[in-house]
Structure 1
Amino acid sequence: MSKCFADGLPAGQLDRAPFKFRHALLDHPALAIEGLAKVLPELAPGQVRYSKGLADLRINFDHAHVEHRNGLGLAETIETIRGGNSYIAVSDPQTHPAFRDLYADLCREMTALLRQGGQSKTIHEPRIWLFIASPNAVTPFHFDRYSNVLMQIRGSKEVAVFPNFRPDIVPVDVCEAYMDRQPIDALWRDELDQHAVKFDFRPGDALHIPYTSGHYVKNGAEDVSISLSFFFQTDQTLRWTRAMQFNHRMRRWSKAVGLRQTPVGHSHWLDATKSHALPCAEAVSRMARRLRRA
């Protein structure tokens, strides 16, 4: 019996398209604001980032907790979040006992769904993130290094999801650099909105956001928003990630010798070859760094 996801989830669409379904976590005690107020101060400081309630899709989401501080401590941010203007992002709360069983359930059920849909024999790099935000706060346009299931616990929001592997939305070199853990600039342009698929999102709703699909979120005005994201990689997305890292590390060398990189996602054979060749690219990068130092 499923503890997290409703029956009938279209497993065959995972990593292929965004789709809504239902989750079963509304009554989980750790996800209530009272439970979060207790758990969050007990996490390592680096796991809890908070800022002003964001209002611009052009903000760099990765740097918001540094560049847009709200001037409050964590306890005061939680206490005032309903009537204030704050945004809290929490990484890997499964390190706390309150979330360990939930994390195990999510991993088990998603592994079964991936096998059912034929996408992957197992799940890779599973993670939980929590997002708690004041009414009307915005999650700026960004994309993730993982596939994602976003689950709404409290409040409402509009979620806009964009097609992945579209260089007119996320340029190829930018996507490759980000997948290789390099910083990138904010990408939003107003003309991108014509490509969005928009979902009305309320408590009990879940949404699958495919690997590297750009997206943004606008919270409703009536209440605090609490949502949980379950991130994961599959056999296929892990292959894509390594192939993008290969492209990024070899890009300067290939330009120097006049070769053109083939973007990831166009050839299964070529992506697999690049994925296996990543250690060679790492060796070339190390050699290039030593030569530059010399």
Structure 2
Amino acid sequence: MACVGNARRFNQHGRASTQLARSTLSEPKGRVMLGERLPPARVSVLAAGARQQPRPWIQFDPEQIERSYNRSPFLVKHRLAERPQFMLPSLFALCRRMPTPAVKVRIGKIPGDADFDSSLHRYNHGLTLEDAVEHFEEREAYIVVYNPERDAEYRPVIEGLLGEIIVGIERLDPRPTWYSTYFFISARHAVTPYHMDREMNFLLQIRGHKTVRLWDPADATIMTQAQKDRLLSAEGEARPAYLPSFATKAKVFELEPGLGVHHPFIAPHLVTTGPELSISLAITFRTARSDVWADAHRFNHRMRRLGLHPRAVESNPAVDATKAACLRGLRGMRNAVRGGTEREGA
């Protein structure tokens, strides 16, 4: 690979090139990755199952997908409220049998500009899962269930929905590589503070009302290229913060049961619930194309640390692919060196 060859040549010519190699080779820091990878064979099985579904649970408009997928948010219709697994007693039972780290609780009413990554801990206020479940509305609680697809009862249901998404986007984005799901169970007037995820998402409202504000990730007044590069590189560090000037730039979606909204790749968003209990399911996913974008952003971040000014990601697919290939090649070299060192010391 050309990039790997260049790195080797750089390493023969002194200090600056060594700094380049080390910077490019460093892995993203941060939290443990949730979710599951999707091998191609598994994607094929899920898609085949979705095609055999006589009546889809999610309704995708092919023209809307063609026009807006991963460009701008849009609404979808669904029938999830018909499923007994998505009713409150079933979800509370799920909360009780999931592993403790997979269920987080806090109070619902928090500032919209609160730090997203610390909000579950900061606003827990001593609330336990049992207390939240037994006195949910009285405590005005907010529960997040991480990866319910790991539960035996929920896995076939959620994988069926994932298969429908795979089929719905396959003309534009045919190679899903990873997914993760979350249930959000919220009391009245709860807030999910402003943040951006590192993938795409379909947020599906099952009960109650939700107001979803989404911002254009391509708007440099909301998130600069350097901020996006850092976001994709430093998963454990602070995400770009909300500013009051953002308020008028949001697209606002009012979700009722049976409606969902598509979040494009790393689109900033802020969510509030209405005056009653709310249940929603988020199906987040990555694809081969978004993986290229993510690695190109990581490459750019490393270049910026060297004082360079790389071309913006998504401005040229060939350049993005080259950056991603460089990063992956250098990462592979480092892993090979580490593996060899471990074998020598064994």
2:97 alignment counterpart? 42
Tell me the alpha carbon deviations over residues 55-88 of structure 1, each in whole angstroms, 9 at most, x when there is no partner.
Answer: 2111111211111113121021122222322211
Kindly indicate whether residue 137 of structure 2 is the aligned counterpart of residue 82 of structure 1.
Answer: yes
Alignment of 1:1-12 (within 5 A): 1-6=54-59, 8=61, 10-12=64-66
Q: Taking structure 1 as reference, are residues 152 and 64 closer, same or farther at Cα in structure 2, changes over 3 Å only?
A: same
2:160 alignment counterpart? 105
Kindly indicate whether residue 78 of structure 2 is the aligned counterpart of residue 23 of structure 1.
Answer: yes
Aligned residues between the structures: 279
2:301 alignment counterpart? 248
Kindly, what percent of the aligned residue pairs are identical? 25
* Equivalent position amino acid for 2:147 in 1: D
* Equivalent position amino acid for 1:267 in 2: N
Question: Equivalents in 2 of 1:183, 1:31: separation in Å?
Answer: 33
Query: Which aligned segments of 4 or more residues in structure 1 are displaced greater than 6 angstroms?
Result: 283-286
Tell me the alpha carbon deviations over residues 134-179 of structure 1, each in whole angstroms, 9 at most, x when there is no partner.
Answer: 1001111111111110000111021111101222112323322222
2:291 alignment counterpart? 238
Kindly indicate whether residue 222 of structure 2 is the aligned counterpart of residue 169 of structure 1.
Answer: yes
Question: Equivalents in 1 of 2:231, 2:217: separation in Å?
Answer: 14
Tell me the alpha carbon deviations over residues 176-231 of structure 1, each in whole angstroms, 9 at most, x when there is no partner.
Answer: 2222223115511111011111011111111111111111111101x111100011
Q: Taking structure 1 as reference, are residues 200 and 104 closer, same or farther at Cα in structure 2, changes over 3 Å only?
A: same
Alignment of 1:1-294 (within 5 A): 1-6=54-59, 8=61, 10-12=64-66, 13-115=68-170, 118-180=171-233, 181-185=235-239, 187-221=241-275, 223-253=276-306, 255=307, 259-280=308-329, 282=331
Question: Equivalents in 1 of 2:141, 2:243: separation in Å?
Answer: 24
Question: Equivalents in 2 of 1:73, 1:7: separation in Å?
Answer: 38
Question: Equivalents in 2 of 1:65, 1:285: separation in Å?
Answer: 35
Deviation at 1:49, TM superposition (A): 1.3
- TM-score (norm. length: structure 2): 0.76
Q: In angstroms, what is the RMSD of aligned CA positions?
A: 1.9
Based on CA coordinates, which of the two structures has the bigger radius of gyration?
A: 2
Tell me the alpha carbon deviations over residues 113-151 of structure 1, each in whole angstroms, 9 at most, x when there is no partner.
Answer: 122xx2222222111111111100111111111111000
Q: Which structure shows the bigger proportion of residues in helix conformation?
A: 2
* Equivalent position amino acid for 1:103 in 2: I
* Equivalent position amino acid for 1:64 in 2: S
Q: Taking structure 1 as reference, are residues 157 and 107 closer, same or farther at Cα in structure 2, changes over 3 Å only?
A: closer
Q: Which runs of 5+ in 2 are unaligned?
A: 1-53, 336-346
Q: Which runs of 5+ in 1 are unaligned?
A: 287-294
Question: Equivalents in 2 of 1:272, 1:7: separation in Å?
Answer: 29
Question: Equivalents in 2 of 1:7, 1:212: separation in Å?
Answer: 21
Contact 1:177 1:184 in 2 (8 A): no
2:17 alignment counterpart? none
Q: Taking structure 1 as reference, are residues 164 and 185 closer, same or farther at Cα in structure 2, changes over 3 Å only?
A: closer
Question: Equivalents in 1 of 2:285, 2:332: separation in Å?
Answer: 28
Question: Equivalents in 2 of 1:189, 1:127: separation in Å?
Answer: 29
